[in-house]
Amino acid sequence: MKHILRKRIISFIFLVLLFFNFYNSFADDAEKILDFEDVSDEITKDEIIETATSDTSSLNLNGRSCIVLDRLSKNVLYGKNENSKVKMASTTKIMTATVILEKCDLNQTVEVSKKAANTGGSRLGLTTGAKITIRDLLYGLLLCSGNDAAVALAETAGGSVQGFSELMNSKAKELGLTHTHFESPHGLDSDEHYTTAYELAILSDYALKNQTFLQIVGTKTYTVTINGYPKTLSNTNELLGNLNGVYGIKTGFTNGANRCLVTACKRENMDVICVVLGCDTKKFRTTDSIKLIEYTFANYEYVNISEQIEQKFSQWKNENKKFFNIIKGVTSDVELKHSDLENPVIPILKNEIPSIEINIQINQNFDAPLYENTILGNIEVIANKNLISHCDILAANTIEKKTFYNYATDFFKNYYNTLNSATKLVL
């Protein structure tokens, strides 16, 4: 009897060990561990290329919300529910990395807590007491989307997950992200953990300005060191290295958020961020992203609005040198300038470029004194009957109001000119 009981206990222990071995073998892959159906939902490089070269005139997107943001002008080139609050899954880690990069020494070695080591979902594979540098934790955070790495980083910088979430929300406020709120460094589903496609794009644009962040999200494979042992990680971003111009940045998936992908892509001088949130499958998030990226580069072109404004403004000034009437002013010779453009170069749909108009609207009569930098009018840039840019027309000099001395001088000057004209007529 004892022999049989001993065999059953050994068999049970064996099954437990087998289960944990099975669990850990998938733990490095965010998509597989959370949804095994995604294993058969991979999209191949050939399919990516085929999608990229197909007709994207009819986008037919699956994602619940999406956006394409031009990094130069910050203009929205395409949007679908881009201002709706949604769950963001592991795209949260863009903010996690941003806070860490601004607050921590990346060469610092940390000891992993039990809480971090036991964090579920996608994992770097950390164990309690393991020692690893912050730099390697960042690679584990951004390449294989390690939730255990996220908690280890949060505890290091913020003392706890809650303390670090406060740092994340403080940074969001600093960046003007009024519809974004964080409750964790990893993005597992939580009712008060949300963002919008637009604000996630703005955050991504900010994060990519950090050269270390840029380098990490653009890395396909990287070997970290945990407790002195090497471990090679692969980037979960399926478009990196497979679609022309893609250089980052982050994938995401939870049951509440569905499949998410933030992509940065640059071709020649155009640089955009594409955010796709709430796709039903991994394949949909991939094809949605490709469609939006290809649509953008096929249909938009940068136009130097500043050059067109300068040309039209100079022409107007030459044709209207005696335009102003400065009431009670010592002169009506007003010098003009315009305010700086928020975006001197902006992307415009190619078929709308011929329709660009520069409209100058300016008032003629002003009371003295007229001070420098007074707004006199504005310049509007119109394309396809839509306002795409504008600036103010300003006075470039100050015109004082006439004094008694000025009026007296003018009186005698006019009297002298009248007398002089009358004398010439008599002679």
- Regarding whether 289 and 368 lie in a shared domain, the answer is no
> How many CA within 13 A on the CB side of residue 304?
6
- Regarding whether 328 and 181 lie in a shared domain, the answer is no
Reduce the DSSP state of residue 245 to 3 states and report it. Answer: coil
Question: What tens digit of pLDDT does each residue of 241-263 get?
Answer: 999 999 999 999 999 999 999 99
Q: What is the domain-level CATH number for residue 85?
A: 3.40.710.10
- Regarding whether 54 and 169 lie in a shared domain, the answer is yes
Examine residue 241 and state whether it is found in any structural domain, yes or no.
Answer: yes
| Catalytic residue selected from 90, 113, 165, 289 | 90
- Regarding whether 353 and 226 lie in a shared domain, the answer is no
- Regarding whether 287 and 256 lie in a shared domain, the answer is yes
* Calpha distance 280→326 (Å, rounded): 65
- Regarding whether 332 and 257 lie in a shared domain, the answer is no
Q: What is the pLDDT of residue 410?
A: 60
Q: What is the domain-level CATH number for residue 393?
A: 2.60.410.10
Beta bridge partners of 313: none
**Cα angle value 138/140/145 (rounded, 5°):** 105
| Catalytic residue selected from 65, 73, 80, 93 | 93
Examine residue 426 and state whether it is found in any structural domain, yes or no.
Answer: no
| Catalytic residue selected from 65, 73, 113, 145 | 145
10-residue mean pLDDT profile of the chain (427 residues): values are 54 48 37 40 71 70 97 96 97 98 97 96 95 98 97 97 98 98 96 97 98 98 97 96 96 96 97 98 95 95 95 95 91 94 93 95 94 96 93 95 69 63 58
* Residue 266: active-site member: no
* Calpha distance 77→71 (Å, rounded): 10
* Residue 90: active-site member: yes
- Regarding whether 91 and 51 lie in a shared domain, the answer is yes
Question: Which pair of structure tokens corresponds to residue 219?
Answer: 């890395």
Helices (H), 143-257: 147-158, 161-174, 197-207, 211-217
- Regarding whether 367 and 282 lie in a shared domain, the answer is no
Q: What is the pLDDT of residue 6?
A: 55
Examine residue 421 and state whether it is found in any structural domain, yes or no.
Answer: no
- The domain of 266 spans 32-300
* Long-range contacts of 396-399, Cβ-Cβ distance < 8 Å, separation of 24 or more: 396/334, 396/335, 396/336, 396/337, 396/372, 397/334, 397/335, 397/372, 398/369, 398/370, 398/371, 398/372, 399/326, 399/329, 399/330, 399/331, 399/332, 399/333, 399/334, 399/368, 399/369, 399/370
**Radius of gyration (C-alpha) of the chain in whole angstroms:** 32
Examine residue 20 and state whether it is found in any structural domain, yes or no.
Answer: no
Q: What is the pLDDT of residue 392?
A: 97
Asked if 141 and 99 count as a contact pair (C-beta separation under 8 A), the reply is no
Examine residue 21 and state whether it is found in any structural domain, yes or no.
Answer: no
Examine residue 422 and state whether it is found in any structural domain, yes or no.
Answer: no
Q: What is the pLDDT of residue 233?
A: 97
- Regarding whether 326 and 290 lie in a shared domain, the answer is no
Q: What is the pLDDT of residue 416?
A: 59
Asked if 359 and 379 count as a contact pair (C-beta separation under 8 A), the reply is yes
State the CB neighbour count (10 A cutoff) for residue 181: 18
DSSP 127: -
* Residue 93: active-site member: yes
How many domains does the structure of the chain reveal? 2
DSSP 329: B
- Regarding whether 240 and 129 lie in a shared domain, the answer is yes
- Regarding whether 344 and 283 lie in a shared domain, the answer is no
- Regarding whether 291 and 358 lie in a shared domain, the answer is no
Residue with tokens 């699956």: 62
Examine residue 409 and state whether it is found in any structural domain, yes or no.
Answer: no
Examine residue 27 and state whether it is found in any structural domain, yes or no.
Answer: no
> What pTM was estimated for this model as a whole?
0.82
